[in-house]
């Protein structure tokens, strides 16, 4: 199974290691599901989780990013000619479509087109 992991879900997983997003991150880390990404997504992950207010150490950040690079599926996403209410989320949808992923997991479903494969973390775990 191939998924796209929105940055807000990744941050939630790292902040609350007992929460639903953390359970999905565990599936990724245990290679039960594969994460698809492109450079824009990786750069956003790095930018956000490196923020001082989160307090994640450099080793944790680089280990996670290297794991994603080594085990995930790099996707050279095709640009899509659709408008998004939050254009910064468009890259996740472009990778989702180009990679032919099974699910896009986000905490902000309203930012994406209506699609039964765009799910919240809880919805994903219920489906999994």
- Measured CA to CA, the distance from residue 68 to residue 39 in angstroms comes to 11
Superfamily of domain 2-127: 5'-nuclease (3.40.50.1010)
- Measured CA to CA, the distance from residue 52 to residue 59 in angstroms comes to 14
List of residues 6+ apart from 63 with CB closer than 8 A = none
Q: Which among 40, 35, 41 is positioned nearest to 3, based on CA atoms?
A: 35
Q: What is the pLDDT of residue 72?
A: 98
93-103 pLDDT, tens digit per residue, is 999 999 999 99
Q: What is the pLDDT of residue 58?
A: 93
The segments of the chain whose pLDDT lies below 50 read none
- Whole-prediction pTM: 0.95
Q: What is the pLDDT of residue 36?
A: 98
- The full set of domain ranges for the chain reads 2-127
Q: What is the pLDDT of residue 85?
A: 83
- Measured CA to CA, the distance from residue 113 to residue 10 in angstroms comes to 21
């Amino acid at each position: 199974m191939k998924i796209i992991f929105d940055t807000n879900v990744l941050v939630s997983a790292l902040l609350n290691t007992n929460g639903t997003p953390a359970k999905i991150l565990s599936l990724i880390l245990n290679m039960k599901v594969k994460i698809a990404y492109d450079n824009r997504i990786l750069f956003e992950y790095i930018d956000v989780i490196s923020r001082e207010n989160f307090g994640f150490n450099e080793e944790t950040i680089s280990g996670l990013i290297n794991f994603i690079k080594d085990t995930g599926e790099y996707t050279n996403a095709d640009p899509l000619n659709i408008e998004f209410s939050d254009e910064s989320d468009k890259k996740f949808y472009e990778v989702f479509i180009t990679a032919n992923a099974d699910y896009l997991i986000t905490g902000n479903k309203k930012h994406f087109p209506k699609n039964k494969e765009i799910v919240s973390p809880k919805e994903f775990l219920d489906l999994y």
